[in-house]
């Protein structure tokens, strides 16, 4: 099977959101997704996405990323979601998407590529180790949802 990787367009947002929701279910957090296609259209300046398509031009995987600035190193690419539909896993598609993401990072003169992986996702951890990623066990995530942002006080 031939896989084609291309930049996503606004027409891809429904398929992207479908895969975001599928990833959330896989990560045991299906009820956490509040994003919508309309919100993605409004906020499209804040993210980029690569789509992997099969021979029939059907989206089978995504790599959704954005640019960030880390004070220690400067401009960086943050890979927020890398998702391959279940029936297409273990065919090298994630590796192809990672290569494409790193191509973007090189083209954009990024000093770091960063992403997160759940500590129980052994397949992903194995892939990232194989690619040479440093997997940090020291840092913890700190998050506030929209309600927490609105109600923040010390």
Distance (Å) of CA 20 to CA 2, 14, 30, 55, 154:
23, 10, 9, 22, 33
Identified catalytic residue from 13, 65, 83, 128: 128
How does DSSP assign 65-131, residue by residue? EEEEEETTTEEEEEEEEEEE-GGGTTSSHHHHHHHHHHHHHHHTT-SEEEE---TT-HHHHHHHHHH
Query: How many degrees, rounded to 5, is the angle at CA 98 between CA 131 and CA 134?
Result: 40
If we measure between CA atoms, which residue out of 10, 3, 2, 6 comes closest to residue 100? 6
Whether the Cβ atoms of residue 61 and residue 93 lie closer than 8 Å to each other:
yes
Q: Beta-strand (E) ranges in 23-58?
A: 48-53
- Is residue 128 part of the annotated active site? The answer reads yes
Residues annotated as part of the active site: 128
């Amino acid at each position: 099977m031939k896989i084609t990787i291309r930049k996503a367009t606004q027409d891809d947002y429904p398929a992207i959101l479908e895969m975001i929701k599928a990833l959330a279910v896989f990560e045991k957090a299906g009820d956490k997704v509040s994003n919508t296609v309309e919100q993605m259209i409004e906020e499209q300046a804040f993210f980029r996405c690569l789509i992997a398509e099969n021979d029939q031009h059907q989206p089978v995987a995504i790599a959704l990323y954005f640019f960030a600035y880390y004070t220690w190193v400067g401009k960086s690419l943050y890979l927020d979601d890398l998702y391959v539909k279940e029936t297409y896993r273990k065919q090298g598609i994630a590796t192809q998407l990672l290569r494409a993401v790193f191509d973007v990072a090189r083209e954009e003169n990024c000093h770091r590529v960063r992403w997160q992986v759940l500590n129980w996702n052994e397949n992903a951890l194995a892939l990232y180790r194989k690619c040479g990623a440093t997997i940090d066990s020291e840092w913890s995530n700190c998050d506030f949802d929209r309600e927490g942002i609105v109600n923040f006080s010390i």
